[in-house]
């Protein structure tokens, strides 16, 4: 608690300074403002018109958008009475409305074609007519039901986009029209999602960020200080139950923290890592950046982009680094696979980061891949950059991203070899708010854009109405969040922190060592002491490359110490089909679930074996590439093949494979594994190249509290020794160790030769 108190003081100071500053600004606020000034600016529009027809990527985007909006205008305007969940007609219709309205606004400004302004005006007045008497949405699932949509979150989306449309036709509308819209639609709309729903609005959570931005953006357009302040600082905490929780099991409120600035302060680490994970960072980025852009344009004195050491701009680069070679986000915590930097949110983010962040030419290569830009000042800027040939490749490197507002709550370490030939994503972070999974020291592994060892991601089909209205499925809680759904240690078939959010939120793992200096030997190592009280886990990933190996390999060392004997399960969710093993196993004539709870109830036990040698080997094939797992096993280990899909009455889960090492009745232990990608197979040439593992044997040479030494022998006969100092990560420490009568001395955390 004392730690938390100190942290708060550190935050309060700059916030107070900012508050003072803002107060001054507001007192000088001008009454007459020219529109558009929110996202598009008068000056920007003039520049765009000047360059139009000479900037290919901008021109192409404009054409696409025009075609899309024209088709919608031809269809007519529909504002049906809200009734559906996401994926359903009314939901998708209202969503489409706000997306198209925003685009129509831009088109009106750029083309000066009045049909776009008329379209927006007519749509706004249909909403104005409807909103006056609109009850709360009939679907009752949300903790904060909206009016147009089943949750306030989506209502906020609407306002964030529609504010931009309104800004674009603000000057074109008559004063009377504006007054009517503001009085009957915008002001009540903003009030409903804020003071009307404090449990939604006053949180430190991506939901609230949307709410804050929505209120703030309409406030900026309306030049309404009250709304702008409410956006930046939240609403009063009186009459709020501070112990209330949301649907996902997270606490609703954090004392003293609410509003856009708190949301900016709290979930971002100094490097711009967003604690919920990249999927939600992507989602949250849009309101963060778009409102920041608005604030920058209307209130440049706020210097919002410089806030917290330019964390907003940094976070864009960070987010790009949280993708595989195909640009898809690592599905840490709740993340839907396939979401990528091709999303509209990232187009905005990249354009804004380029425009307001000093024209980093590497961002141009991402924009080039995205092949579209935002139709505003920032999109123009990036289109011009591409046109002028300033593009440089965005090279993703190994990176350690700290978690927590001060960067002191663990983190995510990413090891990459070469041009993403192998990428390991190691999670030793904080809980990740209500979207967090219980998977300390877990990792996923990628070869380019292919998953080698997968993180399951979330159990949800976002916006597909067939599947629980497109919302979170119950299997997200019973499977996806559980520890066994991840590549990490499970003790006694229970999840980390007993799968309890209240407990998990209090803890985070600790980085032990991260070093990427040598591209052929990169290390990330972290410890976790709270997931299972009385048990300490220390996991080290070493990404190795040498001429012995065709491709880089990953060495995975997990040291476990416990106060009592336990059953340990270490799963590897390999992607692909089993080719061969070096141990005997039997499949079962009938399938039974592997367990009864904590996610185990969802795994069928397909086959089981026991080690034949000291090293157990599993070889598999995926997408034309071979992979081998070599792991040191004990005679009494059970080697289990699992298949997801048990207790899945609605086919909500994929039928993915798993392999787990079970070590029972064990107190302290060491798991050492090597994952090798190798060779390839083409069904066209039918050549199988380098189909076998290069590793002959891995061996524990020494394992004490202070040191763990592993030897790796390849089939060519060479043996390399890796020694890790377990209790002193200093790069300056000198170590001396005798193993089998041979002396090893070295400087720093590890030895390798």
Q: Mask 628-657, x = binds a copy of itself (CB under 8 A)?
A: -------------x-x-x-xxxxx--xx-x
Tell me if 589 contacts a copy of itself by CB under 8 A. Answer: yes
**Nearest-approach distance from CB 158 to a copy of itself, in angstroms:** 16
Cα of first residue to Cα of last residue in the chain, in angstroms, is: 46
Contacts with a copy of itself by CB under 8 A: the residue count is 54
Got the DSSP string for 622-655?
ETTEEEEEEEE--TT-EEEEEEE-TT-TT--S--
DSSP output for 1-41: -HHHHHHHHHHHHHHHHHHHHHHHHHHT--S---SS-SSS-
Cis before residue 723, ω within 30 degrees of 0? no
Residues belonging to the active site:
280, 435
For a copy of itself, the binding residues in 351-410 under the rule CB under 8 A are none
Q: What is the largest CA-CA distance in the chain?
A: 92
Distance of closest approach, residue 398 Cβ to a copy of itself, in angstroms: 26
Nearer to a copy of itself, 271 or 606 (CB): 606
Which residue, among 656, 571, 664, 670, has the nearest Cα to 618 in the 3D structure? 571
- Report 465-504 residues binding a copy of itself (CB under 8 A): 465-467, 470
Please tell me whether residue 721 binds a copy of itself under the rule CB under 8 A.
Answer: no
512 binds a copy of itself (CB under 8 A): no
Instruction: Choose, by CB under 8 A, the member of 132, 344, 506, 731 that binds a copy of itself.
Output: 344
SS3 state at 661: strand
Q: Kindly list the distances between the CA atom of residue 720 and the CA atoms of 415, 531, 603, in Å, as whole numbers in the listed order.
A: 21, 33, 37
Residue 331 contacts a copy of itself per CB under 8 A: no
Tell the smallest beta-carbon distance from residue 150 to a copy of itself (Å).
15
| Nearest distance from C-beta of residue 96 to a copy of itself, angstroms | 9
Among the listed residues 686, 736, 742, 743, the single contact to a copy of itself using CB under 8 A:
686
Is there binding between residue 577 and a copy of itself (CB under 8 A)?
yes
Q: Does 676 bind a copy of itself (CB under 8 A)?
A: no
DSSP letter, residue 714: E
Residue span binding a copy of itself (CB under 8 A) among the ranges 188-196, 334-342, 395-403, 528-536: 334-342
Exposed/middle/buried for 176, CB within 10 Å: 0-12, 13-18, 19+?
Answer: exposed
State yes or no: residue 64 binds a copy of itself (CB under 8 A).
no
Least spacing, CB of residue 608 vs a copy of itself, in Å: 12
Q: Does 681 bind a copy of itself (CB under 8 A)?
A: yes
211-219, 571-579, 632-640, 708-716 -> range binding a copy of itself (CB under 8 A): 571-579
Closer by beta carbon to a copy of itself, 30 or else 586: 586
Asked if 280 interacts with a copy of itself (CB under 8 A), we say no
Instruction: State which residue, 134 or 691, has the beta carbon closest to a copy of itself.
Output: 691
Query: From the CB of 565, what's the least distance to a copy of itself, in Å?
Result: 30
DSSP H stretches of helix in 132-240: 152-169, 175-181, 187-193, 198-201, 206-222, 225-233
- Eight-class DSSP state of 497: G
**Smaller CB separation from a copy of itself, 519 or 645:** 645
- Does the protein bind a copy of itself through residue 464 (CB under 8 A)? yes
CA 675, CA 470: separation in Å to the nearest integer?
Answer: 36
Closest CA to 681 of 747, 617, 619, 606: 619
Beta strands in 438-506 (DSSP E): 442-447, 450-453, 490-491
Residue 687: how many other CB atoms lie within 10 Å: 11
Least Cβ distance, residue 62 to a copy of itself (angstroms): 19
Helix axes 114-131, 89-111, angle to 10 degrees: 140
Smallest distance, a copy of itself to C-beta of residue 518, A: 30
Q: Judged by CB, which is closer to a copy of itself: 329, or 513?
A: 329
Long-range Cβ pairs for the range 691-697 (8 Å, 24+): 691/579, 691/619, 691/626, 692/619, 692/626, 692/628, 693/617, 693/619, 693/628, 693/630, 694/548, 694/549, 694/550, 695/553, 695/615, 695/628, 695/630, 697/614, 697/615
Closest approach of a copy of itself to the CB of residue 643, in Å: 7
339 binds a copy of itself (CB under 8 A): yes
Q: E strands, 461-509, where?
A: 490-491
* Structural contact between residues 614 and 633, judged by C-beta atoms closer than 8 angstroms: yes
- 592: contact with a copy of itself by CB under 8 A: yes
Cβ distance to a copy of itself smaller for residue 578 or 737: 578
Q: Which residues contact 613 (CB under 8 A, 6 or more apart)?
A: 582, 583
Quote the CA–CA distance of 361 and 573 in Å, as a whole number: 38
Site string for a copy of itself, 598-617 (x = CB under 8 A): ------x-xx----------
Residues of this chain that interact with a copy of itself (CB under 8 A) are: 87, 92, 336-340, 342-344, 461-467, 470, 577-580, 586-587, 589-593, 604, 606-607, 619, 621, 641, 643, 645, 647-651, 654-655, 657, 681-688, 691
């Amino acid at each position: 608690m004392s730690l938390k108190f100190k942290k708060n003081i550190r935050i309060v100071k700059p916030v107070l300074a900012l508050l003072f500053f803002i107060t001054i600004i507001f007192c000088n606020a001008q009454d007459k403002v020219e529109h558009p000034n929110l996202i598009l600016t008068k000056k920007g529009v003039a520049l765009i018109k000047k360059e139009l027809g000479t900037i290919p990527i901008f021109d192409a985007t404009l054409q696409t958008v025009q075609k899309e909006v024209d088709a919608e205008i031809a269809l007519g305007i529909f504002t049906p009475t809200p009734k559906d969940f996401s994926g359903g007609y009314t939901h998708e219709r209202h969503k489409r409305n706000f997306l198209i309205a925003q685009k129509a606004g831009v088109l009106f400004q750029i083309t000066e074609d009045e049909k776009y302004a008329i379209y927006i005006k007519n749509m706004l007045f249909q909403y104005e007519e409807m909103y006056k008497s609109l009850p709360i949405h009939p679907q009752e699932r949300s903790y904060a039901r909206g009016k147009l949509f089943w949750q306030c979150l989506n209502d906020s989306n609407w306002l964030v986009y529609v504010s931009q449309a309104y800004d674009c036709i603000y000057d074109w509308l008559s004063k009377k029209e504006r007054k009517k819209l503001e009085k009957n639609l915008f002001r009540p709309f903003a009030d409903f999602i804020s003071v009307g729903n404090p449990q939604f609005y006053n949180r430190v959570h991506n939901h609230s960020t949307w709410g804050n931005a929505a209120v703030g953006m309409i406030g900026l357009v309306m030049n309404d200080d009250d709304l702008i302040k409410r956006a930046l600082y939240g609403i009063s905490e009186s009459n709020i139950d501070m112990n209330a929780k949301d649907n996902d099991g997270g606490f609703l409120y954090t004392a003293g923290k609410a509003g856009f600035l708190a949301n900016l302060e709290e979930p971002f680490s100094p490097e711009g890592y967003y604690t919920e994970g990249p999927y939600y960072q992507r989602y949250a980025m849009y309101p963060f950046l778009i409102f920041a852009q608005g604030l920058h344009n209307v209130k440049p004195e706020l210097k919002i982009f410089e806030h917290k050491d330019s964390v907003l701009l940094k976070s864009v680069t960070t987010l790009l680094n949280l993708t595989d070679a195909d640009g898809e986000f690592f599905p840490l915590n709740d993340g839907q696979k396939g979401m990528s930097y091709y999303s509209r949110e990232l187009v905005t983010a990249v354009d804004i980061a380029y425009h307001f962040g000093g024209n980093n030419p590497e961002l141009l290569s991402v924009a080039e891949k995205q092949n579209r830009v935002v139709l505003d000042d920032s999109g123009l800027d990036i289109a011009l950059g591409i046109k002028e040939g300033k593009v440089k490749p965005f090279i993703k490197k190994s990176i350690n991203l700290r978690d927590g507002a001060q960067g002191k709550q663990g983190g995510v370490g990413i090891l990459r070899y070469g041009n993403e030939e192998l990428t390991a994503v190691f999670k030793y972070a904080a809980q990740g708010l209500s979207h967090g999974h219980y998977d300390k020291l877990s990792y996923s592994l990628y070869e380019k854009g292919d998953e080698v060892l997968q993180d399951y991601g979330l159990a949800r089909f976002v916006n597909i109405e067939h599947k629980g209205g497109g919302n979170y499925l119950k299997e997200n809680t019973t499977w996806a969040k559980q520890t066994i759904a991840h590549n990490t240690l499970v003790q006694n078939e229970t999840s980390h922190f007993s799968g309890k959010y209240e407990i998990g939120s209090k803890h985070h793992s600790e980085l032990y060592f991260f070093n990427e200096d040598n591209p052929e030997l990169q290390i990330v190592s972290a410890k976790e002491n709270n997931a299972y009280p009385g048990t300490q886990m220390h996991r080290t990933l070493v990404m190795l490359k040498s001429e012995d190996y065709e491709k880089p390999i990953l060495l995975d060392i997990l040291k476990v110490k416990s106060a009592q004997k336990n059953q340990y399960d270490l799963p590897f969710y390999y992607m692909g089909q089993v080719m061969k093993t070096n141990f005997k196993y039997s499949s079962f004539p009938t399938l039974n679930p592997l367990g009864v709870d904590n996610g185990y109830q969802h795994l069928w036990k397909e086959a089981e074996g026991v080690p034949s040698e000291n090293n157990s080997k599993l070889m598999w094939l995926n997408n034309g590439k071979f992979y081998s797992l070599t792991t040191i096993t004990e005679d009494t280990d059970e080697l289990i093949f699992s298949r997801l899909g048990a207790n899945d009455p609605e086919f909500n889960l994929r039928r993915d494979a798993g392999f787990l090492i079970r070590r029972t009745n064990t107190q302290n232990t060491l798991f050492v594994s090597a994952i090798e990608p190798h060779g390839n197979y083409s069904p066209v040439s039918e050549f199988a190249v380098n189909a076998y593992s290069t590793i002959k044997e891995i061996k524990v040479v020494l394992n004490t509290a202070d040191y763990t030494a592993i030897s790796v022998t390849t089939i060519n006969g060479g043996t390399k020794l890796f020694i890790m100092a377990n209790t002193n990560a200093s790069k300056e420490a000198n170590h001396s160790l005798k193993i089998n009568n041979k002396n090893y001395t070295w400087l720093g955390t590890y030895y390798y030769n």
